[in-house]
A and B are shown apart, each in its own frame.
Chain A
Amino acid sequence: MTQLLQIAAIAAATFGTGAAALSVMNEDIPDLFIPEGDWADTSALDGKTFRIYGEVPSRSAVLEDEIIFRDGTFQSTDCENYCVFGWSDYQTKTVDGVIHFTTTAICPDAPHTVVWHGRITGDDVVIDTTWTTRRWYWTNQIKVHATGSVIPSAEVAG
């Protein structure tokens, strides 16, 4: 019994120290910074779909995506290929005639958080996004910058 207790104590000390070491040494990468403002659930972009083309600054990957606004919610068709994020509530604010929107999509099956910030001028949109994966042993982040324009509903894929 004493031996079992000692083994349990060694295991507890190892796991406890491991967890402490990982939490101290793992540098968290914050999600995309969203500027303060009068963000509100306005549904101002409902019915609009944008086709966007982007690049990942640190990689050679190219992004082609369609982002859809419907019933006060947002969805990225490309992100749905990797995780069923579903529809996320979005907020907007207007600054000098430019509509800003933001939304945070959380993957229910994996530790992915995708934060969006877009600026819409007329039919054009400029977007910054971070895809952050927080595993217990590290945090990985992909940053994307994309631009695009509105497309008619008939052209929406899927």
Chain B
Amino acid sequence: MAIASSKPLTLPGVILRVFVLVGLIALATWGVHLIRDALDLQIRPDNEQQVHKAIMVGAVAYVGLLAMPFVPGAEIGIALLAAFGAAIAPLIYVCTVAAMMLAFTIGRFLPISSLERLFRVLRLVRAADLVAKVAPLSKEDRLAMLLEGQSKCAVSIAVRYRYLAMALAVNMPGNSIIGGGGGIMMIAGLSGIFTPLAAFLTVVIAVSPVPLAVLFLGLRF
């Protein structure tokens, strides 16, 4: 029987990994530029109205899809950023906050049975199963769901610093396996241990790194 051994990382190994990561980021940035150039999306007087309508439809779809658990919505935001560059970042930020708060509000105020039924009607089976799984749990256990696999101590700390846990969970890469940003905010709303105002302030800060970077560093694509 072969046992996988995990060797401790050496300094050259760490440096190599950092270089590989930076290389991947540079490659991805270059790819986005290529896509943008290929799309040749120039805003001219003759197409401005169509571009405006497309952005509005995209923004509404982005808010709606991002608010739903297990439904990919972030890709629309990334596509808008790739197509229109940093100029569209403020709108994406506002839409992301709106989507997160929409999910939270639905979780907080819609009866849990109605929510499950709504998801089943919409054929969102995984989202309905998630809500059904959450329904019988206590408030703390609902929050603990966001930290599945973590120790009791970690869960206890997370309950104490629940807003920090929420911010981390929303930003965590791979959070789609627990429902994505929309699913996390819906569970947070369902848990009943987050006040709307504090949850709102947490979301405003948690989803702000990219627009703040644009604002303060003047980043341009």
CB of B176 within 8 Å of the partner chain: no
- Chain B contacts with A in 167-211, Cβ cutoff 8 A: 196-197, 200, 204, 211
Q: How many residues of B contact A (CB 8 A)?
A: 29
- Report Cα–Cα, A26/B88, bound state, in Å: 9
Contact residues in A for B200 (Cβ distance below 8 Å):
10, 13-14, 17
CB of B52 within 8 Å of the partner chain: yes
The answer to whether A6 and B109 touch across the interface, beta carbons within 8 angstroms, is yes
Q: How many residues of A contact B (CB 8 A)?
A: 30
Q: A16-60 toward B: CB 8 Å interface, digit per residue (1/0)?
A: 011001101110000000000000000000000000000000010
- Report Cα–Cα, A6/B194, bound state, in Å: 13
Whole-angstrom distance between the Cβ of B110 and the nearest chain A Cβ: 10
The answer to whether A138 and B109 touch across the interface, beta carbons within 8 angstroms, is no
From the candidates A7, A22, A79, A140, name the one contacting B90 in the complex (CB within 8 A): A22
The answer to whether B52 and A81 touch across the interface, beta carbons within 8 angstroms, is no
Q: B15-46 toward A: CB 8 Å interface, digit per residue (1/0)?
A: 00000000000000000000000000011111
Contact residues in A for B89 (Cβ distance below 8 Å):
25
Q: Known contacts A10-B196, A142-B45: does B90 contact A17 (CB below 8 Å)?
A: no
Whole-angstrom distance between the Cβ of B191 and the nearest chain A Cβ: 16
Contact residues in A for B105 (Cβ distance below 8 Å):
7, 10-11
The answer to whether A81 and B46 touch across the interface, beta carbons within 8 angstroms, is yes
- Report Cα–Cα, A117/B215, bound state, in Å: 32
Contact residues in A for B48 (Cβ distance below 8 Å):
82, 110, 112, 133, 140
CB of B91 within 8 Å of the partner chain: yes
- B43, B90, B97 — which one has the most chain A CB atoms within 10 A of its CB? B90
- Chain B contacts with A in 91-108, Cβ cutoff 8 A: 91, 93-94, 97-98, 101, 104-105
- Report Cα–Cα, A113/B167, bound state, in Å: 42
Closest to B87 in A: A138
Contact residues in B for A61 (Cβ distance below 8 Å):
42, 44
CB of B132 within 8 Å of the partner chain: no
CB of A69 within 8 Å of the partner chain: no
Closest to B100 in A: A14
Closest to B196 in A: A10
The answer to whether B101 and A3 touch across the interface, beta carbons within 8 angstroms, is no
Closest to A25 in B: B90
Known: A133-B43, A137-B90; 11 extra A-B contacts, CB below 8 A, are: A3-B109, A7-B105, A10-B196, A10-B200, A17-B97, A17-B200, A22-B90, A25-B90, A82-B46, A138-B91, A142-B44
